Amino acid sequence: MNVLKSGEQMLKRAILSGRFSLVWTQYCPLPYKRPDPIPYCRNCTVPSFHQNSTRTLCSVLPSKDAASDLSRSNEEEHAPFFKMLAECRSPSDVLDLVDSREVYHLHISYCMSQMWKSIKKMSEDQRRCEISLMLAHPSFQKLCHKARVGAPCMSTSQLAYTLSSMVKLGVSQSSVVVQTLLRVMQERLNQLDEKSLSILCYTLKQMESSKNSDALTQGLKLILPEWIPKIQNVIALQNVMCLLGKDTPPVIKKNLQMKALSMADEFTLPNAQHMMRTLATIDLHSKPLLDIFSKRIAENIYGVPYPKMLMVLKSCRELFYRNSNLLSSISDYLATTLSIWSNKQIIFFLLEFEALCFNPVALLDAFAERVIQKPHSFALKDLFSILKIYSSLNHDLKEHKQEFLDGVTLMLESYLPRMTSVQLLRAVSFLCVFGHFPQVLLKKLLQKECLDELLQRGGTEYIGVMNNLHKLDLCLRLDNPPLPPSVSPLPDLHNVLQPNENRLHPRLISALKNLAGEDAVMESVVEANVYFIDAVITLSEAKDILSSPEEHSVTSQNSRRIAVLCVRSHAFCFGTTHPRSMLAMKIRHLKLLGYEPCLVGDFSTTSF
Query: Residue 377 pLDDT > 90, yes or no?
Result: yes
pLDDT of residue 47 exceeding 50: no
Quick one: average pLDDT of 459-469? 84
User: Which long-range contacts does 118-125 make (Cβ < 8 Å, 24+ apart)?
Assistant: 118/88, 118/89, 118/90, 118/91, 118/93, 118/94, 119/90, 119/91, 120/168
**Could you count the other beta carbons within 10 Å of the beta carbon of residue 53?**
10
3-state secondary structure 130-172: HHHHHHHCHHHHHHHHHHHHHHHHCCHHHHHHHHHHHHHHCCC
Give the contacts of 212 (CB within 8 A, at least 6 positions apart). Answer: 3, 6, 7, 179, 182, 183, 186
Q: Considering only CA atoms, which of 23, 99, 114, 24 is closest in space to residue 66?
A: 114
pLDDT at 384: 96
DSSP 541: G
pLDDT of the residue at 320: 94
Give the pLDDT of residue 12. Answer: 45
- Mean local confidence (pLDDT), 362-390: 95
pLDDT at 502: 57
Model confidence pLDDT, tens digit, residues 59-98: 333 344 444 544 444 556 678 888 888 889 999 999 999 8
What pLDDT digit, counting tens, does each position of 126-176 carry? 999 999 999 999 899 999 999 999 999 999 999 999 999 999 999 999 999
User: What residues contact residue 286 under an 8 Å CB cut-off, 6+ apart?
Assistant: 257, 260, 279
Q: Give the max Cα distance, the chain.
A: 109
Q: Provide the terminal-to-terminal Cα distance of the chain, rounded to the nearest Å.
A: 46
Residues 6+ apart with CB under 8 A from 92: 130, 133, 134, 137
- What are the start-end ranges of the H helices in 517-599? 549-552, 581-592
Looking at the predicted structure, is the pLDDT value of residue 285 above 70? yes
Contact 387, 431 (CB under 8 A): yes
What stretch of H or E contains 535?
Answer: strand 531-539
* Strands 560-568 and 595-602, sheet pairing: parallel
- Summarised one tens digit per residue, pLDDT across range 185-227 is 999 999 999 999 999 999 999 999 999 999 999 999 999 999 9
Three-state secondary-structure class, residue 23: coil
Q: What pLDDT, on the 0 to 100 scale, is given for residue 29? A: 35
Pairwise CA distance, residues 75 & 67, whole Å: 8
515-526 pLDDT tens trace: 877 788 888 888
CA geometry: angle 169, 159, 129, nearest 5 deg: 10
Element containing residue 523 per DSSP (H, E) = strand 521-527
Q: Which amino acid is at 171?
A: V
**pLDDT tens sequence across 32-46:** 333 343 343 433 433
**pLDDT tens per residue across span 12-34:** 444 344 433 344 443 333 333 33
C-alpha pair distances (Å), 211 with each of 5, 55, 207, 415: 11, 22, 12, 52
CA within 13 Å, CB half, 576: 14
Q: Where are the domains of the chain?
A: 2-191, 506-602
Distance of CA 584 to the CA centre of its chain: 30
* 228-278 pLDDT, tens digit each: 999 999 999 999 999 999 989 999 999 999 999 999 999 999 999 999 999
CA gap 374, 366 in Å, rounded: 13
Q: What is the pLDDT of residue 494?
A: 59
Cα distance between residue 503 and residue 605, in whole Å: 13
> What's phi and psi for 537, nearest 5 deg?
-105, 120
Q: What is the pLDDT of residue 493?
A: 67
What is the pLDDT confidence band of residue 9, given thresholds at 50, 70 and 90?
Answer: low
Segment 555-567 mean pLDDT: 76
pLDDT score of 53: 33
pLDDT of 367 higher than 90 = yes
* DSSP per position, 413-465: HHTGGG--HHHHHHHHHHHHHTT---HHHHHHHTSHHHHHHHHT--TTHHHHH
Q: Give the Cα separation of 530 and 68 in Å (integer).
A: 75
Q: Which of 48-62, 206-220, 427-441 has the lowest mean pLDDT?
A: 48-62
